[in-house]
């Protein structure tokens, strides 16, 4: 129904946005899968999960078993449905959460078993629940074309800053290479100033929303409380509505 990938420079608020959207969609009655694809894993805790979630990239034996066929052959479509079920956890609200772990940065040309396995997980995830949220790094090349095709929209999170906008341009190129057609932007940590306004008005993609800088998010992170339990949800409700409008989601 709605499959989205979230990307952007480190620290801009990707995980915060992923957690907020997962919460809002599950509250609306949709089934939601959220996958942490960032090597600095923090989506589970942003969703209120206290126990450690095993990164799928660490399932060495299972990966070997599934990806390697007889006589040195290689399965590009390994079976992963059971792994998907048994290595996902649910938070209090019922969001299904998985952690991918570190992926070799080899782009399309890399055929290491871990990548084949993790990509199979992502392809499987596309068809699992109503909503799929991928919390990614700025480098999205490990998505693979198979998954990229299933992604409805890539949300690039930016801060009003030159470096973050530079990253946006890189993400643009990567998305085009992967065949992701729709890109939208969320501006986070916004502090009003003429320069900030100028930077934002230069963004060529649709802007789903502008989230003001708010110390509440830092407080929530400090106290290890999910941001939706203590911070203002309204900017994210607006983002969710715009998202639905843009992708024309049918339930
Ligand atoms: N709008 C905001 N205002 C202030 N701090 C924020 C805001 N959004 C996120 N943060 C804080 O910024 C830090 C990085 O956010 P996070 O979502 O983990 O970024 P990323 O996943 O992109 O690395 C966290 O401490 C988070 O609480
Ligand atoms: Mg993050």
Q: Which of 5, 115, 118, 110 is nearest to 56 (CA)?
A: 118
Q: Are 188 and 13 in contact (CB under 8 A)?
A: yes
Atom of ligand 1 nearest to the CA of 42: 18
Atom of ligand 1 nearest to the CA of 214: 3
Which residue's CA is minimally distant from atom 23 of ligand 1? Answer: 11
| Residue ranges per structural domain of the chain | 2-247
Mean pLDDT of 140-154: 85
pLDDT tier at 237, thresholds 50, 70, 90: very high
User: Which residues approach ligand 1 with their CB closer than 6 A?
Assistant: 8, 10-16, 42, 188-189, 211, 213-214, 217-218, 221
Q: What is the mean pLDDT of the chain?
A: 91
Beta bridge partners of 135: 6, 36
CATH topology of domain 2-247: Rossmann fold (3.40.50)
Give the number of whichever ligand sits closest to the CA of residue 8. Answer: 1
Mean pLDDT of 212-218: 97
Which residue's CA is minimally distant from atom 24 of ligand 1? Answer: 218
């Amino acid at each position: 129904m709605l499959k989205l990938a979230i990307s952007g420079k480190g620290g801009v608020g990707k995980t915060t946005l992923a957690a907020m959207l997962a919460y809002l969609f599950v509250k609306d009655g949709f089934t939601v899968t959220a996958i942490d694809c960032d090597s600095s894993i923090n989506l589970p805790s942003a969703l209120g999960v206290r126990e450690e979630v095993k990164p799928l990239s660490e399932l060495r034996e299972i990966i070997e078993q599934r990806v390697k066929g007889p006589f040195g052959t290689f399965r590009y479509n390994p079976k992963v449905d059971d792994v998907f079920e048994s290595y996902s956890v649910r938070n209090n609200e019922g969001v299904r959460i998985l952690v991918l772990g570190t992926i070799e940065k080899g782009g399309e040309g890399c055929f290491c078993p871990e990548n084949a396995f993790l990509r199979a997980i992502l392809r499987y995830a596309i068809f699992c629940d109503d909503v799929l949220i991928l919390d990614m790094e700025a480098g999205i090349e490990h998505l693979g074309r198979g998954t990229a095709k299933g992604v409805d929209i890539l949300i690039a999170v930016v801060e009003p800053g030159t470096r973050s906008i530079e990253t946006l341009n890189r993400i643009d190129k990567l998305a085009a290479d992967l065949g992701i057609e729709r890109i939208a932007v969320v501006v986070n940590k916004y502090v009003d100033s003429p320069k900030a306004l100028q930077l934002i008005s230069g963004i060529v993609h649709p802007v789903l929303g502008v989230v003001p800088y708010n110390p509440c998010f830092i407080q929530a992170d400090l106290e290890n409380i999910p941001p939706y339990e203590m911070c203002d949800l309204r900017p994210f409700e607006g983002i969710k509505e715009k998202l639905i409008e843009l992708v024309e989601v049918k339930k």
